[in-house]
Amino acid sequence: MSTLVVCSVTAAQFLLASAMACALFRILRGPRAQDRVLGFDSLYVNAMLLLLVFGIRSGSTLYFEAALIVALLGFVSTVALAKFLLRGEVIE
């Protein structure tokens, strides 16, 4: 792996970790429930991108499956939380 790729992977990891910190701050600060759900949504998208960057750094395609599962479960949980905010229960 060339030094250019190593440097850019490190920079991308730093940027994505800062983005995750921003989303975490939004989850903690609120001010309402839908803001927290939105922060959680962008937190899992950033975690999925960080997994893809980890895959490039380690050179294995194993991280791709983990990223796919994170995307899948994140979508389901966001829809379940939004449904809970809308109706008061998830499955009616």
Residues binding another protein (CB under 8 A): 2, 4-5, 7-9, 11-13, 15-16, 18-20, 22-23, 25-26, 32-35, 37-39, 41-42, 45-46, 48-49, 52-53, 55-56, 59, 61, 64, 67-68, 71-72, 75, 78-79, 81-83, 85-86
Task: Let me know the angle formed at the C-alpha of 8 by 24 and 69, rounded to the nearest 5 degrees.
Answer: 50
Question: In whole angstroms, how close is the CB of 32 to another protein at the nearest point?
Answer: 7
CB of 92 to another protein, least distance (A): 15
Nearer to another protein, 86 or 91 (CB): 86
- Is 53:6 a contact under the CB 8 Å cutoff? no
